[in-house]
């Protein structure tokens, strides 16, 4: 605990329990006070990073929930509600922070079900009986400011009683990543207090840690719920003790600039720039082109990038040789083709980001517009343009390691490839700047291999419309509306059209394969920018027409090459801040528009800035 939170602990137990009593007796402050008190707290400013939901023996008085502030600024908790509920959102119970309490940057706060006597050493504040008993095998626990969800995580059963569940210590806790149960695991024996296994108030161990056998000899080897893989470590700058590598999650690392044809020797002066949307390490990632297996970034020291930081990957470290670049974070050995091609960044076989660039102009880098710097928005050719600022000692143009400049109307290459790599004359079926036939019914560039292949064209029965948000409340409709598509087999959505009952139509186009694996869900949205669209997960494609809010005969259709793939109809008016979702049992193109197959998303299921929905995730059952 940091100093600020310790101050809260000194007189906070009685105050906080009193706060709960006011809630239980109907004397709680007004919702307006709650909203105002915590108005500055944004989604993800405080996250849930550990919980003990099944202590040995009786649960009463022994459960706890750990909060973490992953930001670089203090967060005020006054007005926030810590709540617990069943998985469907029912039987919610809450604990309101009535007293001022500040969490320092990177600090932890442990709240426990302590009903009598002094607080145990690992508990900072008691919520008494306010949350009741946490679900041992399912349920949810979260934080809200009024109706706005700050964070919520699903509860899962530990391998056995007395073992806490923690978010993977290799990852920086965040409000989106901790929704994924695969990123949680049982706490190892190391650091155990004796009464239970866990690390309350401290960073979690990496999932994948091998633990010693217990005194009874029952638990040697890999702990239940923990992956047996080897944890990769690196040495932070200025420190002597290694730590686990912080792997970026998909969508968090963005390719933003490529210099394929510098003035002078290409083998000395080529470079690629990446942007980190969250703090991460690049150790173990592979940078590749469509004509190479790539270079894996390996170093004993942590190749760290702070959230919002740019990193430069170059052919040479020496500024005399590379044309006066700022210090690169790492080097690569493959050639960037002057004729254009694909650059990708992978974590093993998982592609974190991939972009297509067109014929390079000598001495001029190709850069993504700042407002399109996301792993989905940078797929569009029009997101890219020529750099205009000079750098280094040879007269090259680019912004290596710095934020890109805005793309002006005249900054595209009018002679060959405008912006991101498709020649202006090829958008209707000609050759891609990198030599790939980008015609709508031929091929696309595979995100894993970086090579062109035939599209997996969907057929009838292979995709289904499963969820739609017509009236978001966290952001405006024109940027926050979205539609979810479920793939029933592996498909590429390139060339697929989304349309409505009025005939408005948007076609999904990209030189990269818009792949959706069987059983996965793609989000199509009005905006791909998470800063604008309400915090949606990665958006595969965008559409331009509105989703109506009023009651009436409405239809969404998916089609390709003149064939209708699915149609979903409804007549009920939209409800602000709630998506409509198709029940899992009806999630196919035959039954998804049967009367009663869809319902409003349950109260406890929220995303991004707090609207209700499951974009990109499995839908919840509809209550009878």
Same domain, 135 and 206: yes
Same domain, 197 and 87: yes
Same domain, 203 and 293: no
pLDDT at res. 131: 93
Dihedral of alpha carbons 274, 207, 181, 513, sign? positive
Same domain, 352 and 409: yes
Same domain, 360 and 219: no
Same domain, 257 and 181: no
Same domain, 115 and 63: yes
Return phi, psi of residue 396, to 5°: -70, 155
Global pTM? 0.42
Dihedral of alpha carbons 562, 566, 568, 569, sign? positive
DSSP-derived secondary structure letter, 124 = S
Domain boundary (450, 476, 510) is at: 450
pLDDT at res. 80: 93
**Contact 423/261 with Cβ under 8 angstroms?**
no
| Residue 296, domain extent | 253-450
DSSP-derived secondary structure letter, 381 = G
Neighbours of 562 (CB within 10 A): 6
Give a yes or no: residue 238 inside a domain: no
Give a yes or no: residue 578 inside a domain: yes
Pick the closest to residue 382 from 351, 420, 325, 437 (CA basis): 420
Give a yes or no: residue 621 inside a domain: no
The residue count for the chain: 624
Same domain, 197 and 266: no
The two three-digit tokens of residue 567, written as one number:
């149609």
Same domain, 417 and 489: no
Same domain, 115 and 161: yes
Give a yes or no: residue 44 inside a domain: yes
Running along the chain, 624 residues long, what does each successive block of 10 average in pLDDT? 35 34 43 70 90 87 92 88 89 91 92 90 92 90 90 90 90 79 83 74 76 33 35 81 84 94 91 92 91 83 90 92 92 90 88 90 93 88 91 90 81 36 31 33 74 90 95 93 94 95 91 88 91 87 93 94 93 94 91 89 87 90 76
Same domain, 481 and 440: no
Pick the closest to residue 127 from 163, 68, 83 (CA basis): 83
Domain boundary (198, 231, 264) is at: 231
The whole-angstrom distance between residue 610's C-alpha and the CA centroid of its chain comes to: 15
Q: Please report, for the domain that includes residue 480, its CATH number.
A: 2.60.40
Give a yes or no: residue 456 inside a domain: no
How many whole angstroms separate alpha carbon 328 and alpha carbon 331?
7
Q: Please report, for the domain that includes residue 164, its CATH number.
A: 2.60.40.1260
Same domain, 413 and 484: no
Give a yes or no: residue 455 inside a domain: no
Domain boundary (201, 231, 261) is at: 231
Give a yes or no: residue 341 inside a domain: yes
DSSP-derived secondary structure letter, 231 = P
DSSP-derived secondary structure letter, 134 = P
Total structural domains in the chain? 3
């Amino acid at each position: 605990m940091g100093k600020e939170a310790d101050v809260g602990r000194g007189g906070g137990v009685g105050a906080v329990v009193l706060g709960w009593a006011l809630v239980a007796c109907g004397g709680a402050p007004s919702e307006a006070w709650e909203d105002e008190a915590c108005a500055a707290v944004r989604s993800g400013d405080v996250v849930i990073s550990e919980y003990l939901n099944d202590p040995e023996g009786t649960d009463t008085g022994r459960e706890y929930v750990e909060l973490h502030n992953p930001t670089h600024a203090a967060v005020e908790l006054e007005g926030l509600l810590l709540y617990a509920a069943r998985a469907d959102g029912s039987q919610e119970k809450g604990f309101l922070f009535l007293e001022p309490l500040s969490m320092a940057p990177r600090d932890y706060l442990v709240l426990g079900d302590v009903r009598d006597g002094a607080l145990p050493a690992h508990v900072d504040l008691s919520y008494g009986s306010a949350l009741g008993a946490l679900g041992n095998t399912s349920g949810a626990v979260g934080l809200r400011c009024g109706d706005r969800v700050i964070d919520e995580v699903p509860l899962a059963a530990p391998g056995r009683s007395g073992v806490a569940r923690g978010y993977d210590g290799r990852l920086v806790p965040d409000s989106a990543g901790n929704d994924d149960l695969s990123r949680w695991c049982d706490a190892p024996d190391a650091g155990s207090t004796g009464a239970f296994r866990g690390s309350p108030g401290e960073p979690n161990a990496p999932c994948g840690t091998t633990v010693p056998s217990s005194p009874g000899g029952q638990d040697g080897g890999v702990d239940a719920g923990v992956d047996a893989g080897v944890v990769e470590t690196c040495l932070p700058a200025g420190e002597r003790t290694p730590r686990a590598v912080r792997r970026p999650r998909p969508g968090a690392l963005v390719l933003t600039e490529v210099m394929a044809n510098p003035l002078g020797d290409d083998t000395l002066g080529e470079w690629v720039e990446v942007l980190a949307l969250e703090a991460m390490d690049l150790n173990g990632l592979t940078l590749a082109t469509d004509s190479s297996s790539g270079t894996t970034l390996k170093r004993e020291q942590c190749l760290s990038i702070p959230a919002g930081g740019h990193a430069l990957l170059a052919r040479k470290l020496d500024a005399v040789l590379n044309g006066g670049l700022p210090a690169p974070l790492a080097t690569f050995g493959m050639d960037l083709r002057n004729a254009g091609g694909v650059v990708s960044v992978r974590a093993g076989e998982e592609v974190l980001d991939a972009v297509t660039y067109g014929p390079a102009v000598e001495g001029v880098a190709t850069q993504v517009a700042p407002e399109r710097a996301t792993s989905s928005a940078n797929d569009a050719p029009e997101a890219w343009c020529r750099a205009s600022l000079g750098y280094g000692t040879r007269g090259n143009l680019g912004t290596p390691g710095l934020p890109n400049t805005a793309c002006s109307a005249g900054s595209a290459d009018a002679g060959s490839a405008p912006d991101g790599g498709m020649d202006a004359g090829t958008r209707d079926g000609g050759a891609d700047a990198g030599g790939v036939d980008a015609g709508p019914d031929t091929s696309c560039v595979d995100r894993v291999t970086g090579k062109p292949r035939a599209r997996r064209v969907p057929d009838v029965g292979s995709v289904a419309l499963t969820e739609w948000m017509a009236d978001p409340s966290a952001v405006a409709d024109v940027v926050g509306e979205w539609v979810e598509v479920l793939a029933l087999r592996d498909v590429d959505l390139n060339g697929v059209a989304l349309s409505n009952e009025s005939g408005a139509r948007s076609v999904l186009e990209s030189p990269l394969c818009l792949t959706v694996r069987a059983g996965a869900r793609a989000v199509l949205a009005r905006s791909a920018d998470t800063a604008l669209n309400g915090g949606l997960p990665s958006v595969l494609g965008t559409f331009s027409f509105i989703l109506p809010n009023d009651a009436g005969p409405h239809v969404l259709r998916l089609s390709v090459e003149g064939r209708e793939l699915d149609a979903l109809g409804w007549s009920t008016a939209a409800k602000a801040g709630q998506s409509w979702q198709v029940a899992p049992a009806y999630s196919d193109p035959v039954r998804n528009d049967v009367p009663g197959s869809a319902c409003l998303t349950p109260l406890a299921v929220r995303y991004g800035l707090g609207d209700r929905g499951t974009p990109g995730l499995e839908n919840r059952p509809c209550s009878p």
